Amino acid sequence: MTSASSSLGKRSRDMIESGKGKLQSLRGVRRTQSDSNLRQAAKRKRPSTASAMDLDVDSEEDSEEDSEEEQKFFTPKMKKWLGQGLYIGQHRHFDARLTETQNKAKRKSVATKENKILPMPMFAGERLLSVPYKDGRDFKLPFDTFSPLPRKAKPEDWKKTSRNLFVGEAGTLWKKAKVQSDSYCECSPEDGCGEDCPNRYMFYECDSTNCHLGPELCTNRAFAELKRRAKGNRYDYGVEVLETADRGFGVRAMRTFEAHQIIVEYAGEIITQDECDRRMKHEYRNNECYYLMTFHNKMIIDATRGSIARFVNHSCEPNCRMIKWTVAGEPRMALFAGERGIMTGEELTYDYNFDPFSSKNVQECRCGTRSCRGVLGPRPKDKPKFTPTSLVAGAKRKIQEVFSNKESRGSASPKKKRKVAEIARTAISKAKN
């Protein structure tokens, strides 16, 4: 019995232990599966720390590259403005003995607010206003600042054109004319087609056909600059019509021009001499003003229908010059600033060098300068003053003959000598009178 019971106890004990082992193994499998599921869910929700660090580094690099690109390409250059000079950041009621909070409360308690657009000069404006009115005055802007130039005048009979137009036989003559020989320059980028450029001193404008420098380096492209400027605003164009007191319409500058800088082109209808004579006899017979200029190859520019340059007045001391240039093989006329440049509001003038054709067609000059010639054209030649040199010379010869005869002929009667001397004296007195 003892052996049977012991064997049964061992078997039951082995079965219990094997059951416990199976239960523990099943629990371990469940734990591993749940842990793996949790890990996979965590992976789905967030990346690993290493990948997160990599993503942070990549995002920082991308942000740095974006900021560099923005700073390089998209950040505009801003101009630095001064607010109020030495006292910037302070207000009129600032007290250095008080704290910032106290100064802020004091500034808020002030009833009158200061104009921040045009503030009064600190400490100086109050001193001017504190004294009697006879010694000080209110702050005002200068007249030329708040009162701009009046608007430009509008001539009634002006038909505007910005380029030359060939009319009648002038077009056929121009086509038959030989094309002007091109000039070529070999200027260096350092020179930039300066004063030594062969195109410049022959009055040829540089372009892609006669200059190897581009428009960024070449400075001999005045008409190209004028074309670009004409497409801009009124300031870029730079001129406008004004009405003078006694010289009709004129042209003034709305901006400054440097010395020798192009201002405006003299454009109009290009006609022949025969067409010019016909218009003068019939169409312009009763006109007071003419806008004719000798151009090229015996042709004439009639700016009755032309550019604003036709209103530029004459002056014996001009501040501009009218010069003919060759642009792309074609002659063109333009107004250039003089040696000292042009200031804003200054009237533009040039010397007409007018040919009156006859003494009857001379026009009066009203430029009012010190060296005014009085007429639109060359200064009239002064008539030579009449000096009776022949009479004086003849009287001297007679006196010499008298005294020479006195020595040679001593037997001559004294009455005859006195008579000859009296004749010589009367001749000299008449010559002097």
Domain locations in the chain?
165-350
- Are 320 and 253 spatial neighbours (Cβ–Cβ below 8 Å)? no
Cα separation, 217 vs 211, whole angstroms: 11
Cα separation, 381 vs 369, whole angstroms: 20
Cα separation, 268 vs 305, whole angstroms: 6
Locus of tokens 């630095």: 80
Cα separation, 333 vs 336, whole angstroms: 10
Cα separation, 302 vs 158, whole angstroms: 12
- Are 327 and 311 spatial neighbours (Cβ–Cβ below 8 Å)? no
- How many CB atoms are located within 10 Å of the residue 194 CB? 13
- Are 279 and 168 spatial neighbours (Cβ–Cβ below 8 Å)? no
Cα separation, 339 vs 325, whole angstroms: 18
- How many CB atoms are located within 10 Å of the residue 92 CB? 15
- Are 271 and 168 spatial neighbours (Cβ–Cβ below 8 Å)? yes
Cα separation, 132 vs 125, whole angstroms: 13
For the question of whether the overall pTM of this predicted structure is more than 0.75, the answer is no
CA-CA-CA-CA dihedral for 28, 33, 39, 41, to nearest 10: -150
Cα separation, 191 vs 198, whole angstroms: 12
CATH number of 165-350: 2.170.270.10
**pLDDT tens for the chain, residues 1 to 433:** 444 445 545 566 666 677 666 666 656 555 555 555 555 555 555 544 444 445 454 555 555 555 554 445 556 666 665 555 555 556 667 777 788 888 888 878 876 666 666 656 655 555 555 555 555 556 677 665 666 666 666 777 788 888 888 888 887 777 776 555 667 888 888 888 888 899 998 899 998 888 988 888 899 999 998 888 887 666 677 888 888 888 888 999 988 899 999 999 999 989 888 888 888 888 888 777 778 888 887 888 988 888 899 999 999 999 999 999 988 888 899 999 999 999 988 999 999 887 665 566 677 888 888 888 888 776 666 555 545 555 455 555 656 665 555 555 544 455 555 555 566 566 556 555 5
